[in-house]
């Protein structure tokens, strides 16, 4: 009969793979680097197979390690769910969370991953719309929580500032055109207002060549060299380059991000996600 796998070893294994090194994994699992190394040796001895390729600075899984990683994550998730079913029986149910699609792309993945680890019985239903639409949807009672960008004069408890930057195609010089071709999010969007405010303040002539609520659509237009655009810095894809003062463009104001809550949404699941988002988004680098 096979020896049962030690969940502590699996947790350390996953931390090593996700962080890319023994030293990075150590603080995540609360152990020293040498202890992490010993745990990984013990795990490999237990399964009778090498799972990791150890380099001078990095550690990566080999083919067997990649396969093993799938099962390790599955077992850890089942363990969390089993524990939660006994210790947190009230923290179940579904939370309807609204978020602009550019924030969904760069802010949410690590946050939701950590939330699922702590609250595996809570289901999060995502609704992606621009901030002004999310405010309306929440007021209609079709959302529990919404992550939004603050509009001018909007009462909102700002929990983080996101740097807002100009982007362009690395293969074109659209910023040299006059008037400046600009791709914008649709009317009512805070990002659009910030771009127009900056251009107006700098007395820079421009023309809107594209308007959409879609981040992917905006990126496609900019990547084709048809326009420049303003994006949250963390959402800038590798296919675009950040430009600014050197290209004669005005500084863009930071995006102010906060969380709105439906006052009628009072379940424990909503409480947990609301508190988790406030804490995690404020701390996220």
**For position 265, which CATH number holds?**
3.40.190.10
For residues 19 and 35, membership in a common domain is answered with yes
pLDDT tens, residue by residue, 63-108: 999 999 999 999 998 888 888 777 766 678 899 999 998 888 888 8
The mean pLDDT value for 195-219 works out to 91
State the CATH number of the domain containing residue 27: 1.10.10.10
For residues 171 and 246, membership in a common domain is answered with yes
Residue 32 has pLDDT above 90, yes or no: yes
How many domains, the chain? Answer: 3
The mean pLDDT value for 16-43 works out to 92
Query: Under a CB-based contact definition with an 8 Å cutoff, are residues 64 and 51 in contact?
Result: yes
Range of the structural domain that residue 237 is part of: 164-253
For residues 205 and 176, membership in a common domain is answered with yes
Domain boundary among 68, 87, 106: 87
For residues 145 and 22, membership in a common domain is answered with no
For residues 197 and 265, membership in a common domain is answered with no
**2 in any annotated domain:** no
pLDDT tens, residue by residue, 101-139: 888 888 888 888 888 888 888 999 999 988 889 999 999
For residues 155 and 261, membership in a common domain is answered with yes
The beta strands (E) that lie in the chain are given as: 52-54, 59-61, 93-99, 122-128, 145-149, 158-162, 164-168, 180-185, 206-212, 228-232, 241-243, 255-261
3-state secondary structure (DSSP) of residue 216: helix
Sign of CA dihedral 221, 226, 231, 237: positive
For residues 143 and 262, membership in a common domain is answered with yes
The secondary structure of residue 248, as a DSSP letter, is T
What pLDDT does residue 213 have? Answer: 81
For residues 11 and 119, membership in a common domain is answered with no
For residues 231 and 156, membership in a common domain is answered with no
Domain boundary among 87, 105, 135: 87
Query: Under a CB-based contact definition with an 8 Å cutoff, are residues 124 and 114 in contact?
Result: no
Domain boundary among 56, 87, 118: 87
**53 in any annotated domain:** yes
For residues 72 and 101, membership in a common domain is answered with no
What pLDDT does residue 285 have? Answer: 58
The two structure tokens encoding residue 143:
């959302």
């Amino acid at each position: 009969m096979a020896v049962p796998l030690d969940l502590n070893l699996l947790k350390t294994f996953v931390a090593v793979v996700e962080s890319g090194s023994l030293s990075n994994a150590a603080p995540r699992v609360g152990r020293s680097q040498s202890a992490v190394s010993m745990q990984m040796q013990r795990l490999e001895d237990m399964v009778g197979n090498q799972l990791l390729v150890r380099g001078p600075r990095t550690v990566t899984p080999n083919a067997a390690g990649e396969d093993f990683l799938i099962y390790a994550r599955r077992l850890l998730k089942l363990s969390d769910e089993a524990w939660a079913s006994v210790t947190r029986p009230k923290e179940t149910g579904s939370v309807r969370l609204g978020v602009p699609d550019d924030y969904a792309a760069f802010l949410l993945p690590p946050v939701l991953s950590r939330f699922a680890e702590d609250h595996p019985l809570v289901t999060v239903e995502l609704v992606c719309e621009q901030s002004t639409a999310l405010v309306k949807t929440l007021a209609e009672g079709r959302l529990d929580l919404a992550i939004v960008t603050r509009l001018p004069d909007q009462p909102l408890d700002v929990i983080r500032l996101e740097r807002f930057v100009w982007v362009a195609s690395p293969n074109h010089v659209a910023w040299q055109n006059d008037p400046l071709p600009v791709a914008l999010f649709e009317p009512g969007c805070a990002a659009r207002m910030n771009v127009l405010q900056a251009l107006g303040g700098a007395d820079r002539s421009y023309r809107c060549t594209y308007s959409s609520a879609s981040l992917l659509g905006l990126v496609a237009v900019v990547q084709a060299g048809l326009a420049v655009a303003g994006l949250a810095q963390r959402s800038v894809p590798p296919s675009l380059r950040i430009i600014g003062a050197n290209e004669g463009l005005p500084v863009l104001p930071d995006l102010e991000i906060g969380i709105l809550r439906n006052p009628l949404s009072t379940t424990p699941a909503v409480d947990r996600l609301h508190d988790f988002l406030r804490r995690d988004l404020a701390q996220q680098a």
